[in-house]
Homo-oligomer: A and B are copies of this chain.
Amino acid sequence: MTITRIGAGPRMSKAVIHGNTVYLAGQVADAAKGKSVGEQTKDILQQIDAILAEAGTDKTKILSTNIWLADISTFAEMNAEWDAWIVPGSTPARATVESKLAAPIYTVEIMMTVAR
């Protein structure tokens, strides 16, 4: 089974494809960093759409998702964006917990395993 890396930097790759499974790095906001949890979530989900397209797949094939919130009291705010984005009937196994992230400007991080 071949390994294909997308956006392979010196520290990590954006995504790694192994056979029919795609592992995405934990994504944090780019344009929306420092903004609200809702705006960061929307930004992250747009980035994920782009990475999934590059990997030859899409959001209907997500297998598993981990979400970290710097403050778990923002759970509903994150979910509002998630629920608007995810495709009903094609939802992944998911876990959401609270953890501080790499820098205070980041309040949401999302990591996924996806089929292709």
Q: Contacts A23-B92, A26-B94, A91-B10: A63 and B111 contacting too (C-beta < 8 A)? A: no
Are A75 and B102 in touch, CB under 8 angstroms? yes
Q: Contacts A63-B18, A64-B16: A91 and B26 contacting too (C-beta < 8 A)? A: no
Contact with B along A54-66 (1 / 0, CB 8 A): 0000000101111
Q: Contacts A115-B3, A115-B18: A92 and B26 contacting too (C-beta < 8 A)? A: no
Residues in chain B near residue A16, CB distance under 8 A = 63-64, 92-93
Query: How many copies of this protein are present in the complex?
Result: 3
Give CA–CA (A26, B98) in the complex, Å.
13
List the 8 closest pairs (A to B, CB-CB), nearest first: A26-B95, A97-B99, A98-B100, A12-B94, A23-B64, A25-B93, A23-B93, A95-B111
Task: Kindly specify which of A30-38, A39-47, A79-87 makes contact with the partner chain.
Answer: A79-87
Nearest CB on B from A13, distance (A): 5
Give CA–CA (A101, B99) in the complex, Å.
10
